[in-house]
Amino acid sequence: MAAGETQLYAKVSNKLKGRSTPSLLDPLLAMGFPTHTALKALAATGRKTAEAAADWVFCCRLHGHCNDPSLDDPIPQEYALFLCPTGPLLEKLQEFWRESRRQCAKNRAHEVFPHV
């Protein structure tokens, strides 16, 4: 992997190291998958097994099921996190939402809370 690719995946790889990533990643690398493709496959399959990740890559390549034109590109994937806030976080978000609606009253994005 080139130095630039290593930097792109540093944050992702460091977070996953504590969750036995090498035991999942090593079999995929031994099969000849590039590191970035193997990491995407593990993320897409919820890091269940190396076999599930390999199957995901094969299905994507053979059948195009994943519709990921960047499958073989060394670009980190972005993920969305959905949450159901409660307590102080909910109060702060509601306060932000009210102020945002006050300042942008004609914006229809405010019809559904929260809208990101």
Tell me what the mean pLDDT of segment 46-62 comes to. 88
Residues 6 or more apart from 19 whose CB is under 8 A from it? Answer: 47
Residue showing tokens 């919820």: 46
Residue showing tokens 């702060």: 92
CATH for 3-63? 1.10.8
25 or 100: whose pLDDT is higher? 25
pTM over 0.85? The answer is no
Residue 32: what pLDDT? 93
What ranges do the domains of the chain cover? 3-63, 80-116
Residue 58: what pLDDT? 87
Whether 70 has a pLDDT exceeding 60, the answer reads yes
Q: Are 39 and 29 in contact (CB under 8 A)?
A: no
Residue 106: what pLDDT? 66
Please tell me the distance from the alpha carbon of residue 31 to that of residue 2, in angstroms, as a whole number: 19
104 or 75: whose pLDDT is higher? 104
Residue 79: what pLDDT? 62
Average pLDDT, the chain: 75
